[in-house]
Amino acid sequence: MLYYFLLLLPCFACLFWTIALLVRKKTNYRSQNIWIVCMISLSISTYIWSIFYAGVEDYITFCKLDSIEGFTTILFFSLVFFYLKAITDKRPFDYKEYLWLLPAILIGGSSVLLCFAMDDKQTTSYMHEIITQKGKVQVFNEPIYQVHYPITTHIYNITISLQIIGIILYAFIHFIKNKKRLNVPFFNSEKEPIGNHRSILIGLFCLLFLSLVTLAGGRYYYNSEVPHTSFLFISFSVIIYYLGYNVYQSKYTIENIADNPKQTNRSTDETEESQNKTNEKISAELIPIFDRIIKEDKIFLQNNLRLDDIARVMRTNRTYISRMINEEYGCSFSDLINRKRIEYAQELMRSNQNLTQEQICEQSGILYPSSFSKIFKQHTGMTFREWQKRNLTS
In this predicted structure, the answer to whether residue 12 has a pLDDT above a threshold of 90 is yes
Q: What is the DSSP letter of 251?
A: -
Question: 84, 167 in Cβ contact below 8 A?
Answer: yes
Least Cα distance to 10 among 37, 66, 49, 67 occurs for 49
Q: At what angle do helices 226-249 and 2-23 cross, to 10 degrees?
A: 10
In this predicted structure, the answer to whether residue 71 has a pLDDT above a threshold of 70 is yes
Question: 376, 385 in Cβ contact below 8 A?
Answer: no
Helix (H, G, I), strand (E, B) or coil at 255: helix
Radius of gyration of the chain (CA): 28
In this prediction, residue 291 carries a pLDDT of: 85
In this predicted structure, the answer to whether residue 358 has a pLDDT above a threshold of 70 is yes
In this predicted structure, the answer to whether residue 223 has a pLDDT above a threshold of 60 is no
In this prediction, residue 9 carries a pLDDT of: 93
Model confidence at 222, in pLDDT bands (50, 70, 90)?
Answer: low
Helix (H, G, I), strand (E, B) or coil at 98: helix
Helix (H, G, I), strand (E, B) or coil at 311: helix
Residue 392 CB coordination number (10 Å):
11
Average pLDDT over residues 216-225: 58
CA–CA separation, 305 and 172 (whole Å)? 34
In this predicted structure, the answer to whether residue 303 has a pLDDT above a threshold of 70 is yes
Query: Considering the chain, what is the average pLDDT of its residues?
Result: 79
Average pLDDT over residues 241-248: 90
CA–CA separation, 160 and 214 (whole Å)? 12
CA–CA separation, 375 and 345 (whole Å)? 11
Query: Between residues 214 and 243, which one has the greater pLDDT?
Result: 243
In this prediction, residue 224 carries a pLDDT of: 58
CA–CA separation, 376 and 387 (whole Å)? 9
